[in-house]
Structure 1
C-alpha cells in the first residue's frame, strides 16, 4: 500500500515512523505554516530519508498533483493540514483521501474544534476520520471515537490526548482500508461549523460572562492563544489559569473587581456573583502567579476590565 500523509502537526511523528517502518509511507506533505516544535516533522523526514514536500496554498494543486502522478498513492491521510484540497487531488487515491478531525462530526467542524468545545463547556470531545470533499470537514465519517474532557483541562492537554487517540485510530483505519465493507456516517444533517478564532473570541467580557464561562474560555486559550485577554491597570493582560471558589461575592460589586488578596492569589468577582481565583497571568512584564501579583501591589478594589482589541497573531492550524 502506498500512503501519502499531509500534516503540520508534530503529533503525527509516531504515525510517520510506523508507516515508514512498514514500508507504506511514500511522502509527507506539509505547508509553509510549519514552525516551532512542528518543525520536528521536517527534521524527522530528513533523518529517515522520507520524501518531504512543503507547499503553499497557491502552488498546492500543481506540486501535489505532480507528486501524486509520480507516486500513484493508494490512500492519502490529512492530519493537522490547513489548506483546502482540490478535487483533482482528493479524488486521485484509489482507496480515498481522508482527514483526521478533533470532534465528533458532524458537530464542531472548523479549524480549531478543541478551542470551541472547551469554551462552550462540552463534557466530551472525540476524533473523527472522514472522507475529504469540496468543503471543510463535511465528508462521510468513516471512523470516530468519543473522548471525554477532563474537568479543568487546558487546550494543550486536551489537544495532546486527542492526538494520542488519533494516532491509534489512523493506524487501525489504514489496516481496515482493504476491507470491502466500510460503515460511514452521512453528515448532511446537524452539521455545525465554528469559524477561525478572532481576538474578540479570546476576550473576557466581565459584564456578560459567568464565572464558569470565563474559566472555560481561559482553559480553551491556554497555551495556544497565550491565555484569555483582559485589561489590568489600563495595560493588556492574559489570564492563563483560574480556579473556581466556593461561596458568593458581595452585593453591588462591579464584575471583574478584585475583592480579596492573600498568599494564594487574587480573588475576582464575576457577573453572577461567583468568584474566581486567578492563579497565573501574563503581563507585558512577564508571566506571574496571582500571589506574586499580590506581592507586587495588586489591591482589593482594583478591576480587570474588558481588554482593548489589539493586533494579535493567532496561530490556527
Structure 2
C-alpha cells in the first residue's frame, strides 16, 4: 500500500515512522506555513529519504498533482494541514483521503480544537478520523476515540498524549483499509460547533470578567503553542505560562488582577473574581522566562496590578 501524508504538525511523526517502516510511505506534503519545531517533519523525511514537498496554497491548487503521482497512491492521510484540499486531489487516492482531527466531531471543528477545548474547560475530548471533502472537518466520521482531559494539563501535554493515541488509531485504520474491511460511518452524538484560529483577543486575560478557573484554562490552552496568555504589567505585555489555584485568607476585597501578595520565598499571588486567587508560577517578559519567585525578588510589589490592556497615559501639554 502506498500512502501520501499531508501534515504541518510534528504530532504526525509517530505515524510517519510507522508508515515508513511498513514500506507504505510514498511522500509527505507540508505547506509554506511550516515553522518552528514542526520542521522536524522535513528533517525526518531527509533522514529517511522520503520525498518531501512544501507548497503554497497556489501550488496546492495548481501543480501539486504534477509533482507527486496521486494516481499511484492508494491512500492519503491529512494530519494538521492548514489549507483546504482541492477536489482533484482528495478524490484521487484509490482507498480515499482522510483527516485526523483532535476532537469528537462534529464538535470543535476548526484549525485548533485542543486550544478551544482546554480554554472552554471541557473534561472530555477525543480524536476523529473522517473523510476529506470540500468543506473543513465535514466528511463522514469513520473512527472515533474519546479521551478525558487531565485537570491542569496544557496544550503541549495534551497534544503529545493525543498524538500517541492517534498513531494507534491510524495503525488500526490503515490496516483495516489494507485488509479490505468495510468502515461504517460512526454515529456521532456531539453538537456541531466551529472555532476559528485564536486571535489576540482570544489569548488575552480579561481580569474583570473571567473567573480564576477560566483564566487558568486560558493559560493552559495557550502554553506553549501561543507563548502563554497575554496580560499587561506596567504598560508592558507579559505572557503568563503557568498558574496554580491558591487559597488565601483575605481581610478585604481586591480588584481582580491586583497582586495581593509578593515575596521572594513564596512567590506572587493575584486576586481574581469572587474572592479567588491564583499563584503566578511562570511568566515571559521582554527580559526572558521568569518564575514568580524571581519576579518578586526583582521587586514586583503587592498592590501592583495586571491589566487586560495597556492603560493609556494622558498626554502632557507643554507650556
Change (3 A) 1:223 1:80: same
Structure 2 equivalent of residue 272 of structure 1: 274
Deviation at 1:254, TM superposition (A): 1.0
Deviation at 1:250, TM superposition (A): 4.8
What secondary structure does 1:268 align onto? strand
The 8 Å contact of residues 244 and 277 in structure 1, kept in 2 or not, is answered as yes
Q: Distance in 2 between matches of 1:133 and 1:186?
A: 18
Structure 2 equivalent of residue 134 of structure 1: 134
What secondary structure does 2:12 align onto? helix
Matching of residues 26-37 of structure 1 within 5 Å? 26-37=26-37
Structure 2 equivalent of residue 45 of structure 1: 45
Structure 1 equivalent of residue 79 of structure 2: 79
Structure 1 equivalent of residue 226 of structure 2: 225
Structure 1 residue runs of 5 or longer lacking an equivalent are 310-317
Deviation at 1:190, TM superposition (A): 2.6
Choose from 287, 290, 293 the match for 2:289: 287
Deviation at 1:306, TM superposition (A): 0.5
Matched, 1:241 2:242: yes
Q: Distance in 2 between matches of 1:132 and 1:275?
A: 45
Change (3 A) 1:248 1:175: farther
Structure 2 equivalent of residue 160 of structure 1: 160
The 8 Å contact of residues 6 and 81 in structure 1, kept in 2 or not, is answered as yes
Q: Distance in 2 between matches of 1:109 and 1:42?
A: 27
Change (3 A) 1:226 1:250: farther
Q: Distance in 2 between matches of 1:72 and 1:36?
A: 32
Q: Distance in 1 between matches of 2:72 and 2:187?
A: 28
Deviation at 1:71, TM superposition (A): 4.6
The 8 Å contact of residues 249 and 275 in structure 1, kept in 2 or not, is answered as no
How many residue pairs end up in the alignment? 309
Q: Distance in 1 between matches of 2:304 and 2:240?
A: 16
The 8 Å contact of residues 229 and 307 in structure 1, kept in 2 or not, is answered as no
Change (3 A) 1:17 1:36: same
Q: Judge which range, 272-281 or 247-256, deviates more.
A: 247-256
Structure 2 residue runs of 5 or longer lacking an equivalent are 312-319
The 8 Å contact of residues 248 and 273 in structure 1, kept in 2 or not, is answered as no
Structure 2 equivalent of residue 113 of structure 1: 113
Q: Distance in 2 between matches of 1:160 and 1:197?
A: 20
Q: Judge which range, 183-192 or 165-174, deviates more.
A: 183-192
Deviation digits for residues 6-55 of structure 1 (CA, Å, limit 9, x no counterpart) = 11122222222221222211111111112222212212212221121111
Change (3 A) 1:13 1:163: same
Q: Distance in 2 between matches of 1:79 and 1:251?
A: 51
The 8 Å contact of residues 70 and 89 in structure 2, kept in 1 or not, is answered as no
Deviation at 1:64, TM superposition (A): 2.6
Q: Distance in 1 between matches of 2:155 and 2:249?
A: 28
Change (3 A) 1:135 1:252: same
Structure 2 equivalent of residue 256 of structure 1: 257
Q: Judge which range, 65-74 or 15-24, deviates more.
A: 65-74
Q: Distance in 1 between matches of 2:109 and 2:296?
A: 42
What is the root-mean-square deviation in Å for CA atoms of aligned residues?
A: 1.8
Deviation at 1:201, TM superposition (A): 0.2
Q: Judge which range, 29-38 or 61-70, deviates more.
A: 61-70
Q: Judge which range, 180-189 or 40-49, deviates more.
A: 180-189
Task: State the TM-score, normalizing by the size of structure 2.
Answer: 0.92
Q: Judge which range, 38-47 or 270-279, deviates more.
A: 38-47
Deviation at 1:57, TM superposition (A): 0.5
Q: Distance in 2 between matches of 1:274 and 1:282?
A: 23
Q: Distance in 1 between matches of 2:108 and 2:37?
A: 26
Structure 2 equivalent of residue 14 of structure 1: 14
